Every structure is written in structure tokens, then in C-alpha cells.
Amino acid sequence: MILRRYFSTFLLGFLIVFFSANLRAQSQPVIHVITMDGIVNPVSAEFIESSINDATKAGAEALVIQLDTPGGLMTSMRKIVKAELSSEVPVIMYVYPSGSQDASAGVFISYAAHIFAMAPGTNVGAAHPVTLGGGTPGGESPDSTQSETMNEKVTNDAVAYIKSIAQKRGRNVEWAEDAVRKSVSITETEALDLGVIDYIAPTLDSLLAQVNGDTVEVPAGEKILNTTNPEIVQKEMSFRYRILDILSHPNVAYILMMLGFYGLFFELSNPGAIFPGVIGALCLILAFFAFQVLPINYAGVALILLALILFIAEIKITSYGLLTVGGIVSMIIGSIMLFETAQPVFRVSWSVILVVVACTVLFFVFAVGMALRAQKSKPTTGVEGLVDEVGTADTPIYHSGTVSVHGETWSAFSDNLIPEGAQVKVVEVHQMKIKVEEYSGR
């Protein structure tokens, strides 16, 4: 009887501990965390969209996006904003770590988040849109009136867009408009005072502690955040996204394109080498893939191709350096024009351009020098290669006779009588007969 009572008490205690632990496990909130560090482009847009979908499917309490961006494409920004505004999972935008920035397209993305926070030593702003291109649909350069009108249209559209986002999320509308029209930028403390952000947090843990209990609005209605003792799930970019993100960098795309051109040039110059052709084709395929997510300007590509043609022509035609100068100018201008945007984040770095142009010029200068040296050098093969060679007279030589040169017997003649067995030097070649003179060895 006593044993049964002890056993019942032990079983009851065990069940209480088991179920309480299970309930605590079930009630522990899960927070997904991703990092967006770099340009806003189609790759980052797809990554954020998929991360929001994954967090929704996993039933996460919130998705934290640690942000550091100089901006990027407006089209990609709009895709991210749409995903945020329709997300059932609260999105917390966190400009982190210290020293990070949230500029241009990043401001729109942050304003669309349910909660916007910044780490100490960060800044936000400078969201004035920069139009892509620089010409009219017909290809001619626009006049100042057309440019001003187009810029005004783009700016007004961006202002209306960010104001609608700010009103929906209850953020500072006036500052948002100034960020777009006047490119103003502020620190995290100024942003908090102006109602641009919700919190300043030095770490992720401190941020989650501050947002605990906040009420946010999702499409299904209001949601109270529970971030007490959360389970943090770090979601990294997949290998596919990392590769695509690297390839979509303007400098990488530019270098791949140039390597592709070089590889094909070497293969066409030396048919059968195979390796340069394979590498060149692979680099070109990767470059053209990158061009799909970059604002490529095909006039820039054409100028770079023209530069390579001019460099190749320099090898064949004596232009005293004019073709090389034209190639250098064409390659530099083409490299600058390669990506059709005025945004600095999508320009090819000047250091990369100068290094590529310098290497290209040095290679073709070396090739031209070798070609000129080959033209001036004495032939070493064929009949012409016999000139100045030394042989032995097999017979007496005057108007006719035979000599041995390089182990071959040749019909020969001379202006002076040369005795049999004497050393002779080849002076001229006349079809299959050679003219020789006696050689003294000096």
C-alpha cells in the first residue's frame, strides 16, 4: 500500500515535469534571422522573399533582417517592399552592425518593415532616386528639358511611394519625403527623435528584449510579439544565392567578360589550344548571366569589342601607335558606359578598369613587339634560311658545282673558283641553286 502511494506520487510528479517542459518548448518563440549585406538586386530580392516564405511556413514569431546596403535597383526594392507589406510574419529591419548604412533603396525597404531599428553608429537616408540610362528610347541624347522632366517624374513617383509606406507603418512622412527629394541622411539618434525608427539596439538580444510585447499589423490582423527567451535560427544564403550574388557584382561581371574575350581571342589565334577557348566560353556565359540582373548598356559592350579589334589590328597594320591609342580610349569609355546607370553601386571600379586596360595594352604591345621582331629577323627555315650558312664544296665550284649544307647536297655556283673540300658560305638563293663564296672561318 505504501509502495503504491509512493509510486503514484512519483508518476504524478514525473508527468507534471514532462508536460510543463513540453509546454515551455511549445511556447518558446522562434525568430528567424538573415543578413542582407550589399547591393539591392534581383538576387537579394529573391533571397528576402524566400526567407519570408520560409519563416511563414515554419510558424516563426518574426523575421529579423540585419541590413547594411548602399542601395540598388528600384525594381528589386519594390519586390521586397511588396513581400514585406503582404507578410504574415512580422519583419524587423535592423541596421547592424555599427558602421553600417541604410541608403537609397534600403530606406524604402526599412520603412516597409513592421519594426525598424538601428544599431549605434549607423545612418539612414539619401534616398533620392537615380534614373537608369541617359538617353531617349530612340538612342539620342536627351536635352536638359527632357532630363529634368524625367527626373521630376521619377522623383515624384518615389516620393508618393515612400509616403504611402510611411503612412501605412506610422512613420515620419515628412522626413521620408525629404530623404527622397533632398537626399538627407541622419544618424540613429536623430532617426529615433524624428520617429523614423522604433528602437536603437546595440545587439540582437537587446533588440528582441525591446520589441517583446509590441503590437504589429499583419494582413490577418494585429499580432502581439512574443520574443521572451527566443530560439534564434540563423538562415544563411544558400550556395546558389551566394554564387549569383557574387556574379551580379559589376566588377566581377566586367572581369568575366574581359576574360571571355581574351580566351576566345587566344583560341582563334591558336586553333586547337582548347583550354583558352573553354575558359573563355565559360567566362562569357557567366558574364552574360550576370548581365541579366544588371542594367547592361550594349553600347559599352560594343566599344570594348571595338577596342579589342583595334588592338588586334595594331599587330597586323603599322599605325605607329594610333590604333593602340584608339583602343585604349574605346576600352575606357566602354568600361565606364558598360552598366547603364548613374548609381555608383553599379559602376565598374576605376581601379579595376585601369588594371584591365593596362594589362590589355601591355599584352598587345608585347604582341606587336614580337611581331615586328619576327618580321625583321632572318628566316631560319625554308630555302631562305640557307643564307649565311656554312658548308663544304663537294666539287670544284665556279659556274657550277655541288656543296653540302646541313647534310644536304645543293647545286651551287660562284663568281670565283673554289677548290674541292673548301669551306663555303651561302650568299644568295636562286630557286633551287645557291650562290656561294669561299669561307675563311673569320
Q: What b/e sequence results for 389-422 when a residue is b if at least 16 CB atoms lie within 10 Å of its CB, and e otherwise?
A: eebebbeebeeebbbebeeeebebbbeeebeeeb
CA distance 16 to 10: 10
Measured in Å, how far apart are the chain's first and last C-alpha atoms? 129
Eight-class DSSP state of 308:
H
Taking each continuous run of H as one helix and of E as one strand, the counts in the chain are: 14, 16
- Whether the upstream peptide bond of residue 97 has omega within 30° of 0, thus cis, is yes
Burial call 58-76: b when 16+ CB within 10 Å, e when fewer: eebbbbbbbbbbbbbbbeb
Hey, CA dihedral for 102, 106, 107, 111, is it positive or negative? negative
| Residue 125 and residue 107 in contact, taking contact as beta carbons nearer than 8 Å | yes
As a whole number of angstroms, the distance between CA 420 and CA 65 comes to: 96
Helix axes 250-269, 239-247, angle to 10 degrees: 80
Rounded CA separation 221/318 (Å): 76
Amino acid present at 235: K
Orientation angle between helical segments 74-85 and 144-169, nearest 10 degrees: 20
Distance between CA atoms of residues 222 and 341, nearest Å: 41
Catalytic residue numbers, as ranges: 104, 153
Beta bridge partners of 35: 66
Question: What is the C-alpha separation between 410 and 408, in angstroms, rounded?
Answer: 6
CA distance 115 to 237: 23
Instruction: For cell 651561302, name the residue.
Output: 426
Closest CA to 97 of 68, 75, 76: 68
